[in-house]
Amino acid sequence: MKKQYVLYVISILLFLFSGWITGCGGDSSRTIIPTPAPSTGGPVLFVSGGTIDDCVSYLLLTTMDNIDLQGVIITNTDCIASYAMQTQWKIQSYINNPSVPITLSDSRGWNPFPWFYRQDCIHQSQLDILANYGDNTAWPPYPSGEALLRECLSRAIDTGRPLTVLNTCPITMLRNVLEENPQLERGIERIVMMGGAVDVPGNLDPETIPPEIANPKAEWNLFWDPYAFDWILKNTSCPMILFPLDVTDEVPVSQEFLSTLKTQGEHFRYSELVYQNYDLVGDQPYYRMWNSLTTSYVARPDPFEQAVPVALSIVTDGYEQGTLKRDSGGKTIYVVFNMADKQGFYSYVLNQFRRNYAK
């Protein structure tokens, strides 16, 4: 508690100092804002895209000390909702963790992910390692993700324990809830999000969508619904830490990483499950640990270079839809651009999937 108090005081002093600079004629686009202090625990709500890497992110969250995982909200984005929900259920059954709520958002986007990507969750649901774990026969209907978000934010306000919203998919659901209930933003300590591309190319593939709309600068989580991200930038004040392709491009699912997981899987249940998941995309050289990298920051920020305050805006219309732009008139958020210790990240993940889960 003493350490958190010191960090809080430092953040306030930085904020006051930045205001003094701006008031003395400084460039407001360069205003220094307080860096959100890394949490050593506390409540976390995971908003997932239902992908292979999202399932790995969930497993990683369950290994973190002092994290109070309050639920999983799956969005029908880079997945097929019915399969993604049942796969999440099977994975939680596999690790004997059925009490964490699994919910489904009813948010809808602008540009759908290609079916080629979304079908991964079908293959996941058919993994041999999950064969002994049946579907949740109570579904459908599915529990509401929006209702869970409202409940968690209300509880965070009532208890004085603000929430980390880990968002590894389009941010539409959060936008929809906050637009209807702006007072609930007080329950958010920070948003940790994977999305966008700032100084590197995007990941729209002209072989999976029409080349006429596959602009080379946009990333899928923002391209799916650029209007939602634009609204968040313009209408919220809670801190956001963004993990764009600039940093996630550095962490492929390497053969060395897969090989180590496979070996660990002979002795550790988590490693075996994670290996079988990632092995489904082992032949896809473009696949990155987009979401698990972002998730690791919740507990271990040290493998990353310090987040940098950057004023950004997003293009919402036309050919460049979904493109992030440096913009002095935009919203200043924190962006993680680079790894400080890439091998340290891989080692952390491998170690988490060994700890306390021996067969």
Looking at residue 285, its pLDDT comes to 86
Two structure tokens written together for 142: 């599915």
Residue 116 is assigned to a structural domain of this protein: yes
**Judgement on whether residues 112 and 69 belong to the same structural domain of the protein:** yes
Q: Does residue 8 form part of some domain?
A: yes
Same domain, 301 and 243: yes
Is the same domain home to 293 and 232? yes
Assess whether the previous peptide bond of 141 is cis (omega < 30° from 0).
yes
Query: Is 296 part of any domain?
Result: yes
Q: The pTM is what? A: 0.88
Whether residue 205 is contained in a domain is answered as yes
Q: Same domain, yes or no, for 29 and 111?
A: no
Count: domains in the chain: 2
Same domain, 171 and 250: yes
- Residue at 50 is within a domain: yes
Query: Do 306 and 169 reside in the same domain of the chain?
Result: yes
- The pLDDT of residue 356 is 53
Domain of 92, CATH number, reads 3.90.245.10
Full domain range(s) for residue 11:
1-34
Amino acid at 289: M
Please tell me whether residues 3 and 66 are part of one structural domain: no
DSSP letters, 47-78, are EE---HHHHHHHHHHHTSTTEEEEEEEE-SSS
> Mean pLDDT, consecutive 10-residue segments, the chain of 359 residues?
39 38 32 43 94 98 94 98 98 93 97 96 96 95 98 97 98 98 98 98 96 96 98 97 98 96 94 96 91 97 97 97 97 97 97 70
Strand partners, 71: 45
